[in-house]
Amino acid sequence: MSPPAEGAHLSCSVVIPTSGRPRELDRCLAAISCQDYPDFDVIVVDNSSGDPETELVARKWKARYVKETKKGLCRARNRGALVSSAHIVAYLDDDSVPEPRWLSGLVEEFRDPAVMGVGGKTIPLRLETDAEKLFASVRGNAYNRPAPLVVDRDTPCWFEICGFGGIGAGCNMAVRRAAFEVWPGFHERTDRGTPVYGGGEQHAFFSLVSRGFRVSYTPHAVVRHPFPPTMDDLERRYRRDLTASTAFFTMMLVEEKGHRRSTLRYLWEALRGTERTWRGTVSHPPRVVSPVRAFLALSLGPLRYIQGVLTNDPG
């Protein structure tokens, strides 16, 4: 795709993977309709065999409706990029609620031609219940930092920042469409719908920088996202995230051979409780699950990685 003329707007596709959540999708699309950016289309990727209600919601908001029948959030993300003809592909979860200047904030980062990926600021949709407040304290300021950040291979700790959550969440990010011509896309054995379950955006940011590109975080692209509303929801989410984290670590150790030493160092420092200054201020909240349950959840991660490999999913 040829770049736009100087001063012209970068065209953008907003890609929303979804599966069986038409009510949340409707709320997300309503928020997208309020964007102040002048040049974008919307692509809803139904990660199922097809759902008439989901298609009706997409048509209601004049979004393009496509299907990706093989389960996996990253498959759906790649499918959305494949059918896009825009300069920038921005991604939301179906339960995300972007603020009106969200898309403008993301696209502004791509004025730097070396930037291939951008993460934005993610804040709670609401913060009312004890579980929501506790989850916010557990997460810290990882996706809610006030200062912008640009990362390339010359940035200190670039591997840790990109690979382990320092750029942004998958519910609020964008990738330059031209990247898909030289980059294999999102790793399809990561994130929701796969045994690894998480890490899709982290692997994407890491792999873009490892190829010599830049990625950035901007606090000017704001998305609201729901937090677990009850303590039971929070405990399930927390244990699931622990398992996903060690599954992702295992994948990085096995598949990213050139970065094994860095991965092991990061893991060792995590076990020692080393503070990550690039994460911002992180409090030490009350324990969400017992040490035994936490250990069991962490122990499942390598097994989940092996399960993903044995299912012969592409990577």
Average pLDDT over residues 90-114: 97
Mean pLDDT of all residues in the chain? 92
pLDDT (0 to 100) of residue 145: 85
Q: Helix (H, G, I), strand (E, B), or coil: what is residue 38?
A: coil
Cα–Cα distance for residue pair 255/212, rounded to 1 Å:
19
Task: Convert the pLDDT of each residue in 224-254 to its tens digit.
Answer: 999 999 999 999 999 999 999 999 999 999 9
Q: What is the pLDDT of residues 115-133, one digit of tens each?
A: 999 999 999 999 999 999 9
* C-beta separation of 34 from 14 below 8 A: no
Q: Model-level pTM?
A: 0.94
Choose the weakest-confidence range: 117-126, 130-139, 157-166, 292-301: 130-139
Of the two residues 57 and 313, the one the predictor is more confident about is 57
Q: Give the pLDDT confidence of 162-210 residue by residue, as tens digits.
A: 999 999 999 999 999 999 999 999 999 999 999 999 999 999 999 999 9
Percent of the chain with pLDDT over 70: 93
Give the position of tokens 């004025």.
111
- Checking if the pLDDT of 315 tops 90, the result is no
Yes or no: is domain 12-229 CATH 3.90.550.10?
Answer: yes
Backbone conformation region of residue 86, classed left if phi is above 0, alpha if psi is from -120 to 50, else beta: beta
Domain borders along the chain are: 12-229, 235-310
Query: Is 8 a residue whose pLDDT tops 70?
Result: no
Contact 133, 288 (CB under 8 A): no
Q: Mean pLDDT throughout 53-58?
A: 98
Instruction: Write down the H helix ranges in the chain.
Output: 22-32, 52-60, 73-83, 102-109, 130-139, 158-163, 200-210, 231-255, 260-272, 291-310
